[in-house]
Amino acid sequence: MKKYLFLIYLFPIYLCSQNYENVKVKEYYDANLESVNENVMPAPLMEFLVADGNNDDLFGDRISKVLSSLLTMYETTGDKAYLIKFVKNSFIAQNVRNDIANSSNHPGWTEGESAQTPGRRYLDGYILKSMAEFVYLVRLNPQLFSTPLPTSFLLNISSQFFPQSCITYGDYANWLGFRVNQTLDWYIDNDNWDDNKGMLDFNHDALIINMQSGFALAFFYMGNSDPRQSYQDKANVIAGLYKLQIIIDDRCNCGTYDAPVFIISIHNSYVWFDNGWTITKNTHPCVSSCFPFYSGTGEQDNLPEYVATPEDLSHGVPDLWVPLAYNRFAPNSYFDQNDMIRWRNTFAKNIYDDGDFHNNCEGNEISNVPACIPNGCPINQFRYAAFAWMPFYQWDEADNTASAPNVYDILMQLFISDFSNGTPTSFNSAYYGGFGEVVKAQWDKECVNLSMYKRDVKYDQDFKVKNALTIDPASNSTYNTANSFAEPFITTPTFTIEPNVTSNMTAGEEIILKPGFTALSGSNFTASIVPSICTDGHRIGSPGNGLPNIALQNNTTSKQNKTAIKSALPVFQNNLTIAPNPFNGTTSILFSLENKGNVTLKIINALGREVFSEIENVPTEAGNYNVPFDGNKIGTGIYFCVLQVNGEVMQTKKMVVL
């Protein structure tokens, strides 16, 4: 006698509920990108900027960080709107470069550098880093490299502000990479590099540590994407200097010092000084009362100045770009997990203080840096720079010293307390790039939900999220701003998939398409549920009729248009999924039926023998079902799960039992 296993119908009950899945960080990022303080990135400002002494900080310290965050947002969500914004704004930035816009021989954005202000060139390094990162990531992705780049006409962008000769993202990456190399080579050819010090300032002294990092990563990304060994070598020189031992024998000030750039301190944290491996010199002779007595006639190391300023919360962010990039792309070459844990502890144990943020890596306040004179810097002076420390959540609880409070919890709570109302907040836009890192962490850790609003989809585009995806262009949410986030900008409460566009929506639990969503005739639109580890995958639909609101082009009812609309409906019939897979112990066999029928579910081993056949010709209504399965009954190995409906094989999926 056959033994029947009851099928479990999936009612709309969420089985996964985590702490921050409904916090709308991506929605906040999208809604406020065009209106952050100083108006960074909106086209009306960007398109008419001139690179000069008034704007080098805008380009280098602000726009560069937003550009990098756009890449983080694309890598996290797969939304090409972020790449479009990157291409547009990096193209504008390149074409207002000094040598192009101002007939200068300097292929950068800084001006006004002198002996009195020797450090401005680091801003060129910051913006080169963001552009080189794009080149590297595109060249690393063959599919993206060959993907067509939309035209300026399609995106309603002025042709003078968007590359016309670049057909694909790879074409633009090659064009941009050539421009980045021009600037890097200019700095090298003009004696701004030293094999023992790294990048040099106007006085040919080594740049301080946070000013080295942009150039280091520009060399790293370009050196590994061309490839170009001389660039790789320069990046490695700077990475190696992070491990330098600083030795100072200052007989003018009666002091000696012998310690690495990064000093292991309490809580297994790192403490360091903003100069890094740069050692300031006293150029005056001194008659010393230090023992042994010394009468100097030349330069002496200035120890008091070196130890005067522990690195601050804000400048600590670019300091750590280099270790984070090497950890990702060249792990354990210069920085190991112990290093990453100590920097994690610097933030979580020293800087963070029960809801407040100290100003420096020692966990106290700074008083002697220019930004703090004459009144000092109170606690929380650099509060929102904290968001850019989010990548260190990866080392939360990595060992017994990396204990609570966790970086992830600290920064999600900061976002909730200060930004979750959705309205634009006035704060230094150089910090805005940190929101991209918060989105990346949230999408990694949470069974995240996503709401999207106005959009005119004119190029092939996919949208995906782990849990629930809601398209709600007419929403009254504060995140649904007057203009659409993505280009071409629209103001109407619609989300439209245009003809000849392929767009796939994927979610782990549900996709809700609310009024205003339209997939026009001739588009290729699909919506699919792919259960993740935190979802069971129960439905696609829209309020009222269970089907997407897909309108007819020109509101006609011709047979041709009806056929096109039918093909645009979500593909979600007789679907079979196994999650988790591979698995050890139990898993779930998930399937859906478009219409009622007799269901047979079989599992076959690699020799073609049935090892599970307990569900055979079971009358089943249309819907979504979950069959718990115990892999211990069949043993380890490779198997095949077969779904039959009314005797016809609908799908077969490989199963791996560990």
Residues 441-450, mean pLDDT to the nearest whole number = 93
Structure token pair of residue 245: 């031992």
- The vertex-269 CA angle with 206 and 349, nearest 5°, equals 120
CA distance linking residue 264 with residue 401, whole number of Å: 13
Dihedral sign from CA coordinates of 206, 209, 211, 215: positive
Confirm if 83 and 68 have CB atoms less than 8 A apart: no
Structure token pair of residue 422: 């959705």
CA distance linking residue 98 with residue 105, whole number of Å: 7
pLDDT band, very low/low/confident/very high, at 16 (cuts 50, 70, 90): very low
Among 232-241, 363-372, 513-522, name the most confident range.
232-241
CA distance linking residue 612 with residue 629, whole number of Å: 10
Higher-confidence position of 658 and 448: 448
CA distance linking residue 191 with residue 210, whole number of Å: 20
Query: pTM (2 decimals)?
Result: 0.80
Q: What is the pLDDT of residues 265-300, one digit of tens each?
A: 999 999 999 999 998 877 666 766 676 666 655 667
- What is the pLDDT, as a whole number, of residue 540? 54
pLDDT of 420 above 90: no
Residue 305 neighbours by CB under 8 Å, 6+ apart: 275, 280
- What is the pLDDT, as a whole number, of residue 51? 52
Three-state SS for 254-265 is: CEEEEEECCEEE
Of the given ranges (248-262, 341-355, 537-551), which has the lowest mean pLDDT? Answer: 537-551
Tell me which H or E stretch contains 578: strand 576-579
CA distance linking residue 249 with residue 277, whole number of Å: 15
**CB neighbourhood size of 255 (10 A):** 16
Higher-confidence position of 627 and 354: 354
94-to-35, 86, 259 alpha-carbon distances in Å? 22, 12, 41
Residue type, 416: I
Question: Could you tell me the strand order of the sheet in which 510-513 lies?
Answer: 450-452, 468-471, 510-513, 539-541
DSSP letter (8 states) at residue 563 = H
Tokens 């060959």 sit on residue: 146
- Mean pLDDT estimate for the chain: 83
Helix residue spans in 349-433 (DSSP H) = 407-419
CA distance linking residue 520 with residue 541, whole number of Å: 18
Alpha carbon of residue 3 to chain centroid: 51
- The vertex-124 CA angle with 120 and 125, nearest 5°, equals 105
- What is the pLDDT, as a whole number, of residue 52? 54
Q: pLDDT > 70: what percent of the chain?
A: 81
Q: What is the pLDDT of residues 156-210, one digit of tens each?
A: 988 888 999 999 999 999 999 999 999 999 999 999 999 999 999 877 889 999 9
Q: What is the pLDDT of residues 326-335, one digit of tens each?
A: 999 999 899 9
pLDDT of 519 above 50: yes
CA distance linking residue 438 with residue 427, whole number of Å: 17
Residues 583-598, mean pLDDT to the nearest whole number = 81
CA distance linking residue 385 with residue 372, whole number of Å: 16
Measure CA of the first residue to CA of the last residue in the chain; give whole Å: 30
CA distance linking residue 442 with residue 76, whole number of Å: 10
Residues 373-383, mean pLDDT to the nearest whole number = 81
Q: What is the pLDDT of residues 130-162, one digit of tens each?
A: 999 999 999 999 999 999 999 999 999 888 889
Among 2-16, 442-456, 553-567, name the most confident range.
442-456
Residues 523-531, mean pLDDT to the nearest whole number = 82
- What is the pLDDT, as a whole number, of residue 2? 32
Q: What is the pLDDT of residues 538-585, one digit of tens each?
A: 555 544 333 433 333 333 333 333 333 333 333 334 567 787 888 888
Confirm if 180 and 217 have CB atoms less than 8 A apart: no
Among 6-10, 35-39, 218-222, 374-378, name the most confident range.
218-222
> What is the per-residue burial (b if ≥16 Cβ within 10 Å, else e) of 210-245?
bbbbbbbbbbbbbbbbbeeeebbebbbbbbebbeee
> What is residue 348's three-state secondary structure?
helix
CA distance linking residue 150 with residue 172, whole number of Å: 11
Alpha carbon of residue 300 to chain centroid: 44
269-to-40, 358, 406, 409 alpha-carbon distances in Å? 34, 15, 14, 19
> What is residue 611's three-state secondary structure?
strand
- What is the pLDDT, as a whole number, of residue 320? 97
Higher-confidence position of 374 and 218: 218
pLDDT of 116 above 60: no
Nearest Cα residue to 539 out of 577, 512, 519: 512
CA distance linking residue 136 with residue 535, whole number of Å: 34
Find the largest Cα–Cα distance for the chain. Answer: 104
Confirm if 70 and 86 have CB atoms less than 8 A apart: yes
CA distance linking residue 425 with residue 279, whole number of Å: 39
pLDDT band, very low/low/confident/very high, at 630 (cuts 50, 70, 90): confident
- What is the pLDDT, as a whole number, of residue 128? 96
CA distance linking residue 315 with residue 388, whole number of Å: 11
Nearest Cα residue to 260 out of 304, 273, 251, 362: 273
Structure token pair of residue 387: 């968001």
Tell me which H or E stretch contains 527: strand 524-529
CA distance linking residue 131 with residue 87, whole number of Å: 9
Phi and psi at residue 301, in whole multiples of 5°? Answer: -65, 135
pLDDT of 104 above 90: no
Nearest Cα residue to 122 out of 315, 343, 411: 315
Of the given ranges (17-31, 336-350, 484-498), which has the lowest mean pLDDT? Answer: 17-31
Structure token pair of residue 277: 């491996």
pLDDT of 83 above 50: yes
- What is the pLDDT, as a whole number, of residue 4? 32
pLDDT of 495 above 60: yes
**CB neighbourhood size of 383 (10 A):** 17
- What is the pLDDT, as a whole number, of residue 648? 80
CA distance linking residue 344 with residue 143, whole number of Å: 35
DSSP letter (8 states) at residue 636 = S
CA distance linking residue 400 with residue 306, whole number of Å: 33
CA distance linking residue 596 with residue 591, whole number of Å: 13
What totals of helices (H) and strands (E) does the chain contain, helices first?
A: 19, 28
Of the given ranges (83-97, 489-503, 568-582, 585-599), which has the lowest mean pLDDT? Answer: 568-582
Confirm if 314 and 385 have CB atoms less than 8 A apart: yes
**CB neighbourhood size of 50 (10 A):** 11
DSSP letter (8 states) at residue 429 = G
CA distance linking residue 210 with residue 574, whole number of Å: 56
Phi and psi at residue 124, in whole multiples of 5°? Answer: -65, -40
Among 358-367, 593-602, 645-654, name the most confident range.
358-367
- What is the pLDDT, as a whole number, of residue 193? 96
pLDDT band, very low/low/confident/very high, at 47 (cuts 50, 70, 90): low
Alpha carbon of residue 491 to chain centroid: 27
pLDDT of 214 above 70: yes
Alpha carbon of residue 513 to chain centroid: 27
Structure token pair of residue 38: 């100083």
